[in-house]
Structure 1
Amino acid sequence: MSKIILITGTSTGLGISVAVQAAQAGHTVYATMRNTAKRALLDAAAEQAGVSLNVLTLDVQDQSSIDTAVDQIIALHGRIDVLVNNAGQGFVRTIEQATEAEISRVMDINHMGVVRTIKAVIPHMRAARSGHIVNITSVGGLVGQPFNEIYCAAKFAVEGLTEAMASYLTPAFGIRFTAVEPGGISTEFAATVLKQIEDTGGMFDDEYLPVLQTYIGGAQSRMGAGAYQTPDEVAQVVMSVISTTQPPLRIRTSDWAEELTRFKTTTDPDGSKQQEMIVSRFLGDL
Structure 2
Amino acid sequence: MSSPSPRVWLVTGASSGFGRAITEAAVAAGDTVVAAARRTEALAGLADAHPGRVEPLALDVTAPGDALTAAVDDVVARHGRLDVLVNNAGRTQVGALEETTEDELRALFDLHVMGPALLTRAALPHFRAQGSGAVVQMSSVGGQVTVPGFGVYCATKFALEGLTETVAQECPHVRFLVVEPGAFRTELFRPGAAVLSTSMPEYEDTVGPTRAFVTGGDGTQPGDPDKAAVAILRALEAEDAPLRLPLGRDAVTGIRSRLTGIADDLERWEPLSTSTDRDDA
Q: Shorter-chain TM-score: which interval?
A: 0.7 to 0.9
Aligned to 1:263: 257
Q: Deviations over 1:20-78 (max 9, x none)?
A: 110111011111112213324534xx62x788301112221112332232122211233
State the distance in 2 between where 1:222 and 1:162 align.
Answer: 30
Contact 2:91 2:188 in 1 (8 A): no
What CA deviation, in whole Å up to 9, does each residue of 1:170-201 have, x standing for no partner? 1xxx111110110012136654478532xx5x
Match of 2:267 in 1: none
User: Does the CA-based 8 Å contact 1:12-1:42 persist in structure 2?
Assistant: no
> Aligned ranges for residues 95-174 of structure 1 at < 5 Å?
95-170=97-172, 174=173
Q: Deviations over 1:100-138 (max 9, x none)?
A: 111000011001111010011001101222111110100
Choose which of 234, 245, 249 in structure 1 pairs with 2:243: 249
Question: Is the 8 Å Cα contact of residues 12 and 41 (structure 1) preserved in structure 2?
Answer: no
Q: Percent identity?
A: 35
Quick one: distance in 1 between partners of 2:136 and 2:193? 29
Q: Give the structure-2-normalised TM-score.
A: 0.81
Would the alpha carbon gap of residues 65 and 157 (structure 1) be closer, same or farther in structure 2, given more than 3 Å must change?
Answer: same
For residues 190 and 124 of structure 1, the distance between their equivalents in structure 2, rounded to whole angstroms, comes to 36
- Distance in 2 between residues matched to 1:70 and 1:213, nearest whole Å: 41
Distance 1:2 1:40, change over 3 A: closer
Secondary structure of 2:242 counterpart: coil
With normalisation by structure 1, the TM-score equals 0.80
- Compared CA separation, residues 168 and 67, structure 1 to 2 (3 A): closer
Q: CA–CA distance in 1 between the matches of 2:76 and 2:70? A: 10
Checking the alignment, whether the CA contact within 8 Å between 1:190 and 1:216 is kept in structure 2 is no
Which is greater in Rg?
2
Return the letter of the residue paired with 1:157.
Answer: A
1:261 maps to amino acid: I
Alignment of 1:30 with 2:34, yes or no, is yes
Distance change (3 Å), C-alpha of 1:188 and 1:80 = closer
Higher helix share: 1
Amino acid at match of 1:57: A
Q: 5+ unaligned residues in a row in structure 1: which ranges?
A: 267-286
Cα distance in 2, alignment partners of residues 30 and 194 from structure 1: 24
Matches within 5 A, 1:1-286: 1-40=5-44, 42-43=46-47, 47=49, 52-62=53-63, 63-170=65-172, 174-187=173-186, 191-192=190-191, 196-197=195-196, 200=197, 203-217=198-212, 228-264=222-258
1:278 corresponds to: none
SS in 2 for 1:32: strand
CA RMSD of aligned residues (A): 2.5
| Contact 2:94/2:211 (8 A) holds in 1 | no
The aligned amino acid for 1:179 is V
Higher relative contact order (CA 8 A, sep 6+): 2
Deviation at 1:204, TM superposition (A): 2.6
One-letter amino acid of the counterpart of residue 135, structure 2: I
Aligned AA for 2:125?
Answer: P
What is the one-letter code of the residue matched to 1:234?
Answer: A
| Matched positions, count | 254
- Distance in 2 between the 1:154 and 1:14 partners? 18
